[in-house]
């Protein structure tokens, strides 16, 4: 099961996130070159960059969640005895699951509202509702990843030691 999830993570989420980031870099480069050398920026590049930035950030959310790599503060870890630490981690993973599910629900609500009022971006008039629905889906997938790590532990690459080589 984890090997299939690892392949999906490697092949899907990371590739999508990299493609969004590459598109954002290429658009920014082309916009700056057009603005500085030709005097004609790409119309609507701010709108596209805004949408791509949201997609880059949210595409990374399931990866961070599956690896249990969210920013953590270990204030209470010292108060919890070692035998209870496993239960403590399950409780935290369950809370993360609930928070991500609530955020997904809020994005669905906001997406429905954006669809109802036809919310669009400023320059290109791109509808915002699909973006909100994608963000809701990604939050829901992240909630499922958090639920999975509550029972199986973080999904880490067995080949990655997280050690940086000295220069």
CB 81 within 8 A of CB 99: no
Domain-embedded: residue 24: yes
CB 108 within 8 A of CB 133: yes
Domain-embedded: residue 148: yes
Domain-embedded: residue 107: yes
101-158 residue pLDDT tens: 999 999 999 999 999 999 999 899 999 999 999 999 999 999 998 998 888 877 766 6
**Buried-state track 63-90, b at ≥16 Cβ within 10 A, e below 16:** bebbbbeeeeeeeeeeeeeeeeeeeebe
Domain-embedded: residue 167: no
Per the listing, tokens 């699951």 go with: 97
Q: Could you list the residue range(s) of the whole structural domain that residue 34 is in?
A: 2-152
Domain-embedded: residue 166: no
DSSP 117: T
35-58 residue pLDDT tens: 999 999 999 999 999 999 998 989
Cβ partners under 8 Å of residue 37, min gap 6: none
């Amino acid at each position: 099961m984890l090997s299939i999830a690892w392949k999906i993570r490697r092949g899907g989420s990371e590739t999508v996130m990299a493609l969004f980031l590459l598109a954002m870099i290429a658009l920014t480069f082309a916009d700056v070159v057009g603005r500085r050398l030709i005097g004609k920026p790409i119309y609507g590049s701010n709108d596209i960059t805004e949408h791509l930035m949201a997609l880059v950030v949210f595409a990374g959310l399931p990866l961070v969640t599956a690896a249990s790599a969210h920013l953590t503060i270990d204030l209470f870890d010292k108060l919890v005895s070692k035998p209870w630490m496993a239960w403590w981690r399950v409780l935290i993973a369950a809370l993360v699951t609930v928070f991500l599910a609530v955020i997904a629900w809020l994005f669905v609500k906001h997406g429905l509202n954006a669809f109802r009022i036809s919310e669009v971006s400023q320059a290109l008039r791109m509808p915002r509702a699909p973006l909100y629905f994608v963000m809701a889906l990604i939050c829901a997938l992240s909630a499922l990843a958090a639920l999975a790590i509550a029972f199986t532990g973080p999904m880490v690459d067995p080949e990655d030691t997280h050690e940086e080589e000295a220069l």
